[in-house]
Structure 1
Amino acid sequence: MLLPLSAAMKTAVYDLDKTLVRRATFTPFLIFASRRLAPWRITFLPLWVLMMAGYRIGLYNRTSLKQFGMRLMLGNPGHEILQLTGRAFASAHVERSGWLEGIVAMVEADRAEGRRIAIATAAFEFYATAFADMIGIEHVIATRWDGRLIPGGNCYGAEKYRRVAEWLGHDPAQSDLRFVSDSFADLPLLAAAKDAVFVTRNNAKRAKAAAQGWQVVDGEL
């Protein structure tokens, strides 16, 4: 049973893609998993690229896009197979792309301070958990997959805020919360956090984040 966290308890919540790990994970996961589980499906990769373009021009939302991608590139493997594949993918992705070491060091500092730490990500839970395990983070708030659909929708934007609030047991704005992300899509949590940290090397994004009063860091350092 998940017990509410005290509002006075220090917590730290981290995004995953381009925050803890250097590169995005979903398309690389689809490619990795299709090659491993159903190699013939890699021929659908050009269609997946077209679907991403459709999303960018507003033809459908992220939840629909990700559901389509899973079914297109993987079919319907069982949950246990997805977990095993997710672990293999996480290891390969870190080996290929690496962690943002400065952000991992921040996790270690939060742990030493006694903060309760979670990853909150739009990545699928079955592989986000593998990344979390690699750096000793127990709590993962991520997109769920039931084999065909995404229950509750993509863990992104307002939905990520709702899911973090559910984990905390109260409004994030009432917490001693550090939230770390590279994405302005996480504005709801960044705006609510007592200590908002924005990760970027882009000067325009740096200026925009600084104008919000957020701490801006380069995860490479």
Structure 2
Amino acid sequence: MRRLAIYDMDKTITRRATWTPFLIHAAKARAPWRLALLPLAGLASLAYLAKAIDRAQLKEVTHRLMIGRAIPPAELAVVAEAFADDMAATNLFADARARVEADRAAGWEPVLATASHGYYAQAIAARLDILTVIATAARRDANGNVLATLEGENCYGPAKLRLIEAWMAREGLSRGDVQVRFYSDHVSDAPVLEWADEPFAVNAHGPLRRLAALKGWPVLDWEG
């Protein structure tokens, strides 16, 4: 039986969320004048909080503002690799690194499943030697340029479980073929936590801590 150790990324493996820092990093690297558009990105965030737009739309708007409508993939890869180096140096929990290695040594296959865009999540995962990344995807134009719009679902909430199951289907795996551990900090990942054989609430915020107490899920607090 194949054993999967699936990790959320933001605030599970990383101490802090990564999307806004990536946008700022990308703007500084490619077009510093775009930093003047940060207040507009902030207004988009307020629109999300007011439920005027959803998370997918927020990603698209802020990507367009801070990165642009289209970017060549090679150029984006350079930006993502530099950002991943910074995240590996400053924003990863030491305990997360240790847990990934311990799971791997015990025969579990590490997988990253994150709402973050795959174009930089893959670079961060590579710093942990995680080869499989299930993430939000960006559309490409006819020339292969990465666009601000999403390809498929934002990998968040119930959609994360659907995307994990879609990846398993591509791998030729049924649910009975795998044993799953899943690590997350946020109650939005409840569908995957419920689905997993071994759910772990990691660095959990209040709603997830309460749910974990109700369900009897282990709670882990990672440091360093």
Q: What is the TM-score when the length of structure 1 is the normalising length?
A: 0.90
* Aligned residue number for residue 132 of structure 2: 139
More moved, 72-81 vs 173-182: 173-182
Structure 1 residues 59, 141: closer, same or farther in 2, change over 3 A?
A: same
Return the alpha-carbon distance in structure 1 between the equivalents of residues 206 and 44 of structure 2.
30
The structure richer in strand per residue is: 2
Distance 1:214 1:30 in 2: 34
Query: Residue in 2 aligned with 1:207?
Result: 210
Note the C-alpha offset of 1:116. 1.6
C-alpha distance in 2 between matches for 1:92 and 1:127: 12
Give CA deviations for 1:63-87 in whole Å, capped at 9, x if unaligned: 1110111111111221111111011
1:125–1:211 distance in 2 versus 1, CA, 3 Å: same
Structure 1 unmatched ranges of 5 or more: 1-7
Q: Which moved more, 1:194-203 or 1:169-178?
A: 169-178
SS at the partner of 1:12? strand
Structure 2 unaligned regions, length at least 5: 140-146
Q: Contact (CA 8 Å) 1:175, 1:193: kept in 2 or not?
A: no
The one of 49, 53, 68 equivalent to 2:42 is: 49
Q: C-alpha distance in 2, partners of 1:42/1:18? A: 25
Task: Report the secondary structure of 1:148's partner residue.
Answer: strand
Q: Is the Cα–Cα contact under 8 Å of residues 173 and 193 in structure 1 kept in the other structure?
A: no
Q: CA contact under 8 A between 2:55 and 2:154: conserved in structure 1?
A: yes
Q: CA deviation at 1:203?
A: 5.9
Q: Deviations over 1:13-64 (max 9, x none)?
A: 0011111111100000001100110110100101111111110121111111
Q: Contact 1:86/1:130 (CA < 8 Å) preserved in 2?
A: yes
Which letter maps to 2:131?
E
Check 1:171–1:186 CA distance in 2 against 1; reply closer, same or farther (3 A cut). farther
Paired position in structure 1 for 2:195: 192
Structure 1 58/173 Cα, relative in aligned 2: closer, same or farther at 3 Å?
A: farther
Aligned to 2:160: 160
Q: Please, which of 53, 58, 62 is the counterpart of residue 60 of structure 1?
A: 53
1:220 to 2:220 alignment:
no
CA contact 2:200–2:217 (8 Å) conserved in 1: yes
CA RMSD in angstroms, aligned pairs only: 1.8
Report the number of matched residues: 213
Q: Is the 8 A contact 1:206 1:216 kept in 2?
A: yes
Q: Distance in 1 between matches of 2:27 and 2:138?
A: 17
Q: Is the 8 A contact 2:184 2:204 kept in 1?
A: no
Deviations 1:127-155 (A, max 9, x none): 10111110111101111112131010211
Please state how far the C-alpha of 1:109 moved relative to its aligned partner. Answer: 1.1
Q: Aligned pair in 2 of structure 1 residues 213, 163: CA closer, same or farther (>3 Å)?
A: same
Q: Judging changes above 3 Å, is the alpha-carbon distance between structure 1 residues 171 and 54 closer, same or farther for their aligned structure 2 residues?
A: farther
Alignment map for 1:88-127 (pairs within 5 Å): 88-96=82-90, 98-127=91-120
What SS does the aligned partner of 2:148 have?
A: coil
Name the residue aligned to 1:4.
Answer: none
Matched to 1:216, the amino acid is V
Q: 1: CA distance between counterparts of 2:213 and 2:103?
A: 22
**Residue identity (%):** 38
Task: Give distance in 1, aligned partners of 2:154 and 2:109.
Answer: 24
Paired letter, 2:179: D
